[in-house]
Amino acid sequence: MTSDVLPKREVRRKRKITKKDIAPYLFVAPFLISFMIFLFYPLIQAFILSIQQQIPFTQYAEWVGFDNFRFVINYPRFYTALWNVARYTFWTCVILIPGPMLLAFIINSKMTMFKTLFRSLYFIPVLTSTIVAGIVFRFMFSSEPGGAFNQLIGLFGSEPILWLNWPGTAMFALVIIAVWRWFGVNMIYFLSGLNNIPAELYESAEVDGASGWKKFYYITGPLLKPITIFVLTISIIGGFSLFNEAYVYWPSLAPPNDVGTTIVVLIYRTAFLMNDFGNAAAMGIALFLIILVVNLLQLKIMGLFKKED
């Protein structure tokens, strides 16, 4: 071997970094940077704030350990808000998953005409501002006889209802605006999933004499599972972080008997109306953990963590 021949290790060390080597890192860099700036860093700061007692708009901060978390655990209004968002999340998931899925089936059918028109019409609500839509719905649910829903039930001889003052009717008002706004969006998600299912699978099933239910059970359902998990996940996150709809229904953020109080409303009220940033941060951390646990449970139930054979 001549002296000018380099060992393999030296050749590897002197190999230049090519564009192909750094390309993957460049593609994921925007996500990592945005994650660090807008999620990880605020989360760390929120945790630091949650173990402090801070006087607003001053540099004074006293370390109090987990006293703020003890306050949250013993705060009855927090559990009222948790119960409200849990019910809201349950009803929105019950309606906004099977309903849009069924509508996607109908629009995806070969017999359905004007498919593009229906897609556009159902998608329009999400382009509308939540505040604007909420104000319209607030007038519709007005307790006055002139409210749209009171006029409707008045046709059947019923007395006007205080829609936004009672737990059942207030929840109905919150769910209605969510259904109006997100029904079309979820339908688009399921429609995109249906369009990605190969037609050959259905043709083979028809040759084997499979019924419509069997085709759904063995083909459509399993292949739509990723879309279903995605819709369920964002529905849970959106349900537990409910704020805009509650704000437009009750602008004072003080609904009667806390019928529309959500955890985010409670955080906002505690931080900016009571100037208690420590307890508000502790509620925020608690909300983050609740959403994380609930989503992990539903992912476990849906079988996302099962190993494929």
Beta-carbon count within 10 A of 138 CB: 19
* pLDDT one-digit tens code per residue, 181-238: 999 999 999 998 988 888 888 888 888 888 878 888 888 888 999 999 999 999 999 9
Q: Is residue 279 packed enough to be buried (19+ CB in 10 Å), middle (13-18) or exposed (0-12)?
A: buried
Beta-carbon count within 10 A of 185 CB: 16
Torsion-angle region of 211 (φ positive above 0: left; ψ -120 to 50: alpha; else: beta): beta
- Predicted structure pTM score: 0.84
Give the confidence band of 57 by pLDDT, cuts at 50, 70, 90. low
Alpha-carbon span 131 to 239, nearest angstrom: 17
Give the confidence band of 178 by pLDDT, cuts at 50, 70, 90. very high
DSSP-derived secondary structure letter, 224: T
Alpha-carbon span 252 to 4, nearest angstrom: 82
Per cent of the chain over pLDDT 90 is 40
DSSP-derived secondary structure letter, 56: T
Average pLDDT of the segment spanning 130-135: 87
Q: What is the mean pLDDT of the chain?
A: 86
pLDDT, position 309: 47
Write the DSSP string, 123-185.
HHHHHS-HHHHHHHHHHHT-SSTTSHHHHHHHTTTPPP--TTTSHHHHHHHHHHHHHHHHHHH
pLDDT, position 238: 93
Answer yes or no: is pLDDT of 8 > 70: no
* pLDDT one-digit tens code per residue, 266-294: 999 999 888 889 999 999 999 999 999 99
pLDDT, position 56: 67
CA atoms within 13 A on the CB side of 22: 5
pLDDT, position 87: 96
pLDDT, position 88: 96
Give the confidence band of 6 by pLDDT, cuts at 50, 70, 90. very low
Residue in 186, 224, 173 with CA at minimum distance from that of residue 99: 186
Interacting residues of 246 by C-beta distance below 8 A, sequence separation 6+: 174, 253, 255, 260, 261, 262, 265
